[in-house]
Structure 1
Amino acid sequence: MAQNDSTPEWGAARVRSTFLDYFKERGHTFVPSSSVVPLSDPTLLFANAGMNQYKSIFQGTVDPASDFAQLKRATNSQKCIRAGGKHNDLDDVGKDSYHHTFFEMLGNWSFGDYFKKEAIGYSWELLTKVYGIDPKRLYVTYFEGTDELEPDLEAKELWKSVGVPEDHILPGNMKDNFWEMGDQGPCGPCSELHYDLREPENGVYRNAASLVNADDPEVIEIWNNVFMQYNREPDRSLRPLPHKHIDTGLGYERLVSVLQKTKSNYDTDVFSPLFKKIQEITGAREYRGKFGKEDADGIDTAYRVIADHVRMMSFSIADGGVPNNVGRGYVVRRVLRRGARFARKYFETEIGNFFSKIVPTLVEQMGDMFPELRKKEADIKEILDEEEKSFAKSLDRGEIMFEKYAQKAKVKGSNDLPGDDVWRLYDTYGFPVDLTKIMAEERGLNINDQEVEEAQEKAREASKGDKKATAAMVKFDVHDLSALENMNDVPKTDDFAKFGRENITSVIKAIYHNKKFLKSTKEVPEGEQFGVLLDRTNFYAEQGGQENDTGRLLVDGEAEISIENVQVYAGYVLHTGFLKYGELSVGSEVIAEYDELRRHPIRNNHTGTHVLNYGLKEVLGDEVDQKGSLVSPEKLRFDFSHKAGVSDAELAKIEKICTEYIRQNSEVYAKDVPLATARQIRGVRAVFGETYPDPVRVVSVGVPVEDLIADVKNEQWEKVSVEFCGGTHVKQTGEIKELVILEESGIAKGIRRIVAVTGQEAYDVQRQASDFEAQLSRLEKLAFSAEKEAEAKKMQTELNQLVISALSKSQFRERFAKIQKSILDEQKAFAKQDNKRVLDVVTNYFKDNKDAKFLVKKVDWSSNVAKAISEAIKNVSGPKSAIKDKSVYLFSAGDGKVAHGCYVSEYFKEQGADGPKWASSVTPVIGGKTGGKPGAPTAIGNGTNAEKIDDGVEEARKFIEGFKL
């Protein structure tokens, strides 16, 4: 089916709101979708179902102070991603009509409230009566049971009771009808609803029972009712949950497709606006809804892939799941690279800012329901562009290499692409294995996963050896430099290209290993590091506080040198690393490719350092001088002269000035200027005592350098960040996103240090601060209890280890100190009440039993048991005690131990008893030790066998009853 611009009766937005309204009218609370990136749940790569955020309710571990503790019924539309881990639909996207990496899951939940009967009634009524779906097209399933579990015949009978014919009610196995969210966690039998897309023949519907759960594209599952009653334990056993719950998930995109009477989710207005935008950007033909061989030019498949992938990437990035090389970040990167290749191959469009052009259409579609998309739109676009540009550098070359590898396989008469070649496409060109698989399928080639894993392992082992070699980094000494000066064919390196952002072609001028200059890499022992000099380089050598670039030098498909370090010696830029494969010689022409994804945050941090330097001067005054700096991908560090520590108020002002500068999105200008002229620029910042080249590079944030040198004394330049700097910088300050100060400290007399982060790292620490603040707010609301004490101890440790804004940390510490004081005050008050209560028990006993000479009793304390026993015995034996003529032995259990203490009155002491003797009669039974001097009237002890406390009480009674009463 081609694109349809007419507005359907059941538009996508109406379908969603109808579902939510139906359940809100039936007492369900609307709960906004949780983040699709479950940063606080290590068991999940992405949120893959609506129930993820309710896990603590199902497990009975919900925070009693949270809103969720009161929740009985809920409904929402949950953002879900299935593109990695146990639930992974990535390989199917584009090939069929109903798989997506991102989708919405409409759901309704009951937490110990209603169960199967109501859930089944709601789902049948909503589908058939509200949405008006023909019941003849619906089929339901129930759990058929296993040797371990009974079949769910109750669900079967309930479906019959709402009017489902018996031949439309089908049993299902563990795979289809027992739902689990992961390797461990809440689970239970489920009951699915399936829809038959086929039209009736001569007005008669054919029975579709045999096609249910048979992977038939014309009979699809649309809704799953999960009867949550077990928890899958780490040992794989099943334990009943404390309460029975309902968890349902209705595929939003599939429901829209059913109501719009299409056979494909992609033929609905969920996707048509995105297709329209893709067509507008690329100039391609319209979307026609073809699959497989019918989609001869592959364009319809590419439409589906790109629209799906834009949704997945945008929602992931909006929730903090940014592309990187680890876990969920790598899944996002894989999805982007897969989509980029589809865009390039089938739409013949340039890669670099393709996906970001589609994002506004998605925001317009879904920004009202999911406001985080609108809030993060600029960041989503920027991150997508950055990733695309990085991949674009190697996409062309990777495709050429794939063709070479494919031809090589065909020449050999093989349909298998060797694992080594597949791994090299990933390792050198950034092609995820699943992308190479798609390309292989297009060429009728197979990939052996085991071979790829073996190649990966081989590379990993080789890398271990190489990393040992990096311990003694290759360096030039004075003799090497002298030798270079005498080599006419080895010029000093032209490194101007380091200020650009592109790969360049260079010529190897020298190869250096073990104090010798060699002609070829084959002269370097295998696995050992060596150095390379080029005629020109785009790599940044470590200097001025900025860390060096890493990357590679290579001839595509022939040889590659992995560059681990770059240093400059008297104008010679030495690239050090190791040979990955092949052979290179002096005179070889290579592609110089630095790692843009490493340099990008370094650029942010370097310009951020300039902005910070400016902010410090504005707040602390002109006497602030730079004393050192470090610019790495993870953070920036800035040392400066200042007599006193920087107060929180001053830090807040500095951060505010930096933020304003960044938000202005000022352009960053750089130009070489004669040193004498540059020094005259008003307000210019330079490191005292540093020797600068002439001409010197001047970096100005917001004002062209030409304007500065045209009027060097202009007082307006005091309000501009101007520095001498040879580092790499952003083009505009908006790229920095945020600057957050993590730490301010003294490192020497009169020298202070600030550590800060920018960009994504800044977002991450802000998120961590926000998460901790939510925990802190919950702790503040908790009533005094053992749980609050334990939580406070845990959070104290967490706060100390937290890497967040220095200002936030300071504020949290103030709030935490108040919480701790309140806990201490409450402990004291509680202990006082507790001790009085127990003492009252003792005194009242002797009031009621005036002739009694002793009391042996097990008592309960809510506070510190050992301390309470000690206090009670002190009160009984003290000079003001009204019952000093009575003997008392008290026992209490807590945390698996027994606290006990006794007092022996003069009456029993005269008969030969004392505190330690009495206590010693008990320890053989309850374990542990007792304290007290021989002959003393009191003794305090700690036992280790809490389960024997009653026996201990009996033993104490026998001991004292052995004396004359």
Structure 2
Amino acid sequence: MKNIGLNELRKLFLDFFESKEHLVQPSYPLVPQKDKSLLLINAGMAPLKPYFAGKEEPPKNRMATCQKCIRTGDIENVGKTARHATFFEMLGNFSFGDYFKEESLKWGWEFVTEYLQMPIDKLWATVYENDDEAFEIWEKQIGIPKEQIVRLGKEDNFWEIGIGPCGPCSELYFDRGEKFGCNDPNCKPGCECDRYVEFWNHVFTQFDKDEEGTYNPLPNPNIDTGMGLERVACIMQNVDSIFEIDTMKHILNKVCLHTNTKYNENKISDVSIRIITDHIRSIVFLISDGVLPSNEGRGYVLRRLIRRAARHGILLGKSDSFLNDVVEAVIATYGETYTELVEKQDYITKVIKVEEERFQETIHAGLEILNNFVKELELNNEKLLKGEHAFKLYDTYGFPLDLTKEILEEKNLDVDEVGFNDEMNKQRERARKARTGNNTAGWEEDVYTTLDKKITTSFVGYNDIKNKTKINAIVVDNEVVSQLNKDQKGTVILESSAFYGESGGQVGDTGLIYNQTFRGSVIDTKKGPNNQTHHVVVGEEGTIQVGDEIYTEVNELNRNNTSKNHTATHLLHKILKEVIGDHVQQAGSLVTPDRLRFDFTHFESLTPEQLNTIEHKINEKILQASKVQTFETSPEDAKQLGAEALFGEKYGDIVRVVKVGDESIELCGGTHVENSSEIGLFILINESGVASGVRRIEAITGLESYKYVKKQQDTINKVTEALKTTPTNMLSRLDALLLDIKEKEKEIEKLKSQISLGSVDDLINKAEKINGVSTIVTKVSDQNMNDLRKLGDTLKDKLQSGVILLSSTIDGKVNFVSIVTKDITQKGLNAGKIVKEAATITGGGGGGRPDMAQAGGKNPEKIDEALEKVKQILIESLK
């Protein structure tokens, strides 16, 4: 058996299936493109679900891929076992109604025995217990002894997810030898020991399971195989762990170098080294596919991986950021196959460095919070930190539970792990509900999948906004129908269309659809499967039927305004790179007739100077009246021209390029103006943050920018009229007014202070003695919280020893301030508890330190009751 490197294994597999007339596709992005049921791609067949479900026509009925995958369900086992990983590559060959079991199993056998030269006596096969067909192919056609073919039950050898396509499967196993076994003479695949390693699963999707649980045979059964690249590399390189294969070992050695550690010297350190080695691969590939750290969804997966890896760096004694230094090892290993890693290396490194440095900051903030929790426990003579507090440290500050436990143990304290796990489960449930579907959603039947695959729509809208065409299909209320009537809303699929279907951030066109007997409004246009364009139509007059000739007319004003905004986004993208750096990448966009919205990767808010520069430069480019060119070419040629492509987007053999003068060149399927001058005036309306590392710019162009300027002028005119001045003198007039107001405010504060000092003496004179302790429990007039605190501090200085509770009402809201001098707190009185009692009675809440606290309430009419209650508490407490 040859020792074959992982990168060579990948190429061998894909070349083999290319020789069997398979279309070899590059890996799809980790971010699902058309599947809302998945957070991240977790299997080789996941991006191909539309083909398996019959929703879309595959580019070829035979395909093969090596798919990047992320799974974090067993993240706690990563580093502790030899095989668990968050990132892996899945080799797969697929048939969509073409070949079936015989070819799949024969080619599988040919590849592993002739190309990989695995010893035949080491290979075993499993089949579903009722699948005699697969058993006979293995035994009679391929020649495996029947003693080496094992029948297993549904749990092991039948693939299904809810309703939809499903079927039996057959797996190939490699026998690692008796030393890995359990000494059971009947040991064979299916045993839970480590002797037999499953490495290639062949799924025969031959049934369609309905809601009644009936398995209906599919007219065109499919093949879906999956072979873990890292797992087969372990077999070929004769190693026990994925961390010992050539690619992983290279990364692991770099981890050791940057953490100044040695592998295989300390079991605890080894776990941390393996976790970092695994996680850094996931981190690099996620960022390269456009994921950024955040507190939800796939961004949270990335943030968790970065912080978990950084935390294990801390355990290895690494106090500063270092993960960005290991990126180079990942790219050196995978960059030849995944060229996007090389192209985005600087960007990937920057994202990791920023996130890791943030974690370094938050972990120190977390230590401070934990110390406060410890002080509170000690003050209250408690030994157990609440689970919700431990979870807050974990969730807000990235503070792992084991670190919290370790610090608490040093102080003879512990943590409520049950409560922590409850909070963790609540968060998982929130995340689950936040998803729009579950894993079965990608298989659910869509009415459009029942349409003939030959029903497509050719787009003619780049050159025309009107056309004559034919109706190919109509869908109303999720049912295929033959006609659409007046006052009905439905989806109309045309043979050709000038209407642009929503995609690439550009909204769908609106307009009219009509003939001699019908008139309707197209209120939206969507892209459908199999190159269909779905026109959402509301019938206004008459009836149309499938097969009718029809005229369509796009709303020209909306189209033109949308095109202005779309071309402006291209200029914005280009200028952002010039002004703030090449690390800027598009992270999303929205182009409508009214405005444009552009999300981009950046790690801090833009300064007013940067925003002014961006706006100025874009308007300069617009006024240069540059020609906007569009043309089609190959992705390779577009790349040579320097065309920008979207992160994670998968492009076909031919791409459309949009070039604005010599300024901007991007891959784009949207509609654009013919000359940059048509954009008119570009006005930047707003810049904000939408997620960690993602900023958003909103802007307007054309007629909307004129309306905006006119409105601003009207506002200025009204302001100058109110100030009794001219626009030229408006600012100086405003400065004078503000100065006058400031002087008057100072005078008011001075008067209030004098009044307050007078009231202090009155309050001191009215202080009551309760068991020798001076107490002031009273209402004062019209004091906000800040004034109330100042008054309380003045009274405390005068009293020197005592208890104070002040209350006041402002705008219908109740304010309380409680102060207990330190000599009285030693007697057990707590300002926080006092103020909380008062606030509760008035329908509010609050708290603070034992010596000073504040609170608010909603019911001013209950202040007297609250003050009386506090007096009773003081009488009882000071006995």
TM-score computed with the length of structure 1 as normaliser: 0.44
Higher RCO (Cα < 8 Å, 6 or more apart): 2
Using the size of structure 2 for normalisation, the TM-score is 0.48
